[in-house]
Chains A and B, each alone.
Chain A
Amino acid sequence: MASKSWLNILTFLCGSAIGFFFCSQLFSILLGEQGDTQPNILHNDPHARHSDDNGQNHPEGQMNFNADSSQHKDENTDIAENLYQKVKILCWVMTGPQNLEKKAKHVKATWAQRCNKVLFMSSEENKDFPTVGLKTKEGRDQLYWKTIKAFQYVHDHYLEDADWFMKADDDTYVILDNLRWLLSKYSPEKPIYFGRRFKPFVKQGYMSGGAGYVLSKEALKRFIDAFKTEKCTHSSSIEDLALGKCMEVMNVEAGDSRDTTGKETFHPFVPEHHLIKSYLPRTFWYWNYNYYPPVQGPGCCSDLAVSFHYVDSTTMYELEYLVYHLRAYGYLYRYQPALPENILKEVSQVNKNEDPKVKLGNP
């Protein structure tokens, strides 16, 4: 008799526990915790005008609900635009048929638009993307051959359309404004090229392929000439090294791309790998390759970085957001580099107002 009532109590307790739990689930579904329902950006949402705003003068620009205009309303891009006209850069992006949707698409949606001209180089032509067909095969061992053909194409069709010719991968993120600032000090008639300089194998060093490199017009001419006159070999499985060797043979100088405080601008990895001390192990090849003393931590990277490599699709957009959108309002950057002389003259004529942000002549 005792055991029977114990059993009853047990089933009763079980039942109440299950009832309790079941009810809690039901209630949470019904009451529906309105979590982070991010409001759809309804541009005509009356809530966008808060009653607090009544006293203020709304500038006309706010009636235009173009996604970016009000955020960038106080942005002055005169200097960047001036450099865009003065330092013409043609970018060509090394890609392939299988990477158009996965990688090249995101390059196209972000930094590629800032080149004066951009070309996507693939083994096959694609009229829709569009890509230039180099009529090669794909594969790591084809990279140098693709590079030669790509530069050949650029030389034959666009030589006079640009001053500088940049090669990047479809997982490289390039900040064109900073590249223009770097190159503005040099003449495109000078035989020189820039990138992340590595020291082994080539006396003057060579530039990392992934971090991207940029040739002056004269350097491009000499590179193309090298194959006509057979001064450089076509066959190599290491694209950046082979190009670097050829540059040396053709007396094209390997430039120093570091900023005025000695910080690197072209980066073979993503920011995290450079900024975090001991991210890259001490035994990693990188430490022995860098031409200049390599730095980990905040000193790794210039404020005016030009490129990062091994950038996946998400990181492309993140970098785009961090470079061109998110900023600390009113912040006076520590690094305030000088404008190049010729730009300086033009800009100060145009802008009579002293802009406290543009500290001129502060190395």
Chain B
Amino acid sequence: MLSEGSSFLKGVMIGSIFYALITVLGHIKIGHGNRMHHHEHHHLQAPNKEEILKISEDERMELSRSFRVYCIILVKPRDVSLWAAVKETWTKHCDKAEFFSSEDVKVFESINMETNDMWLMMKKAYKYAFDKYSDQYNWFFLARPTTFAIIENLKYFLLKKDPSQPFYIGHTIKSGDFEYVSVEGGIVLSVESLKRLNSLLNTSEKCPEQGGMIWKISEDKQLAVCLKYAGVFAENAEDAEGKDVFNTKSVGLFIKEAMTNHPDQVVEGCCSDMAVTFNGLTPNQMHVMMYGVYRLRGFGHTFNDALIFLPPNGSDND
């Protein structure tokens, strides 16, 4: 009896020590990159339009066309209904949108990454995008099919940002000392960041092959680790009032929370007017968002915008 008890206790101790050791090692490995490039956590602001408004309509159209956004959507067979919704809705507003799947799915066209591992899918998709499109597009937006994105608002947000600089933007999450862009809110990379990422993709100490050491680290964290080695840092995107512009929740969830937390200012405190993404939508909700964003409005409210975007050809829900 006594010997069993003591071996049990020994087991508990060894188990805890083992875990602690692994965690510490893991953090050192991630933290190491941190120390190399110490920088202040900062927020990226949506631009101010005053100067842009002084230019002519033709120049505005040309400026609007200078943003070329390539959309990467990572899908798996179980995402089929969301995939359909995303295909029929917001992705039509990307300059180009392609679907990268874990395997071939009969109903939809996609680029087969031939793997079930999300991090591997992501790496391969970015490599594909770089190899094929780095000279045709200047911004690369990656999302899951649970996300709804408003590409026009993304372009507006990117207005004064030079794509030859290393931008890595979205809804950021801090994990201890380490900051990464959550894939649920969508990930934006400038072409420069993509270039730098691509040069490291085959270096396995910097961009690990698959998952983590014992258990898997999510693919968005992996991406951040990799980008850090390339001197690219995550930045949280906010509007002029400090509201997040990339969101990992749906409008409905924000409203519900606002009704509890500040019931007198539900809509005012909810979300940015210039929101780029929402996440966690059902396929039906995507269609409603399409109507709500691109069509439904109050008559007699006009805007003098610095950019001009035309509706896409052959579409009837916007």
Kindly state whether residue A51 has any CB partner on chain B within 8 Å.
yes
> Does residue B204 face the partner (Cβ distance < 8 Å to A)?
no
Query: A331 vs B92: C-alpha distance in the bound complex, in angstroms?
Result: 14
Q: Which residues of B sit under 8 angstroms from A38, Cβ to Cβ? A: 244
B296→A331 contact, CB < 8 A = no
Q: B69-97 interface mask toward A, CB cutoff 8 Å, 1 = contact, 0 = none?
A: 00000000000000000000000010000
Alpha-carbon distance A36/B248, docked complex (angstroms): 8
B317 at the binding interface (Cβ < 8 Å): yes
Contact-residue size bin, chain A (C-beta under 8 Å from the other chain): 35 or more
Chain B residues whose C-beta falls within 8 Å of the C-beta of A230 in the assembled complex: none
Chain B residues with CB under 8 Å of A70's CB are: 240-241
Q: Are B303 and A321 in contact (CB under 8 A)?
A: no
- Is B110 close to A, CB under 8 A? no
Residue of A nearest to B317 (CB): A298
User: Who on chain A is nearest to B160 by CB?
Assistant: A52
Question: Which residue of B10, B49, B176, B298 contacts A178 across the interface (Cβ within 8 Å)?
Answer: B298
Q: Is there a chain B Cβ closer than 8 Å to A323's Cβ?
A: yes
Stretch in B29-37, B125-133, B249-257 touching the partner: B249-257
Q: Which residues of A contact B285 (CB under 8 A)?
A: 272
Judge if A71 is at the interface, Cβ distance under 8 Å. yes
Let me know if A329 and B297 touch, CB within 8 A: no
- Whether A356 contacts B48 by the Cβ 8 Å rule is no
Q: Answer yes or no: B174 CB below 8 A from chain A CBs.
A: yes
Query: For residues 313 through 328 of chain A, which have their beta carbon under 8 Å from a beta carbon of chain B?
Result: 313-314, 317-328
Within 8 A of A (CB), among B198-214: none
* Choice from A14, A23, A41, A303 contacting B241 with Cβ under 8 Å: A41
- In chain B between 236 and 292, which residues have their CB closer than 8 angstroms to a CB of chain A? 238-244, 248-249, 251-252, 255-256, 258-259, 264-275, 284-285, 287-289, 291-292
A and B contact pairs by CB, cutoff 8 A, 19 listed: A7-B4, A12-B10, A15-B11, A18-B15, A19-B19, A70-B240, A76-B304, A78-B302, A80-B300, A110-B267, A177-B300, A279-B284, A303-B295, A317-B255, A318-B252, A321-B251, A333-B295, A355-B304, A358-B302
Interface residues of A (CB under 8 A from B): 4, 7-9, 11-24, 27, 31, 33-39, 41-43, 45, 47-48, 50-53, 56-59, 62, 65, 67-68, 70-72, 74-83, 109-110, 175-178, 180-181, 271-272, 275-276, 279, 297-299, 301, 303-305, 313-314, 317-335, 337, 355-358
Residues of B whose CB lies within 8 Å of any CB of A are 3-5, 7-20, 23, 42-45, 47-51, 57, 64, 93, 150, 152-153, 155-156, 160, 171, 173-176, 182, 238-244, 248-249, 251-252, 255-256, 258-259, 264-275, 284-285, 287-289, 291-311, 316-318
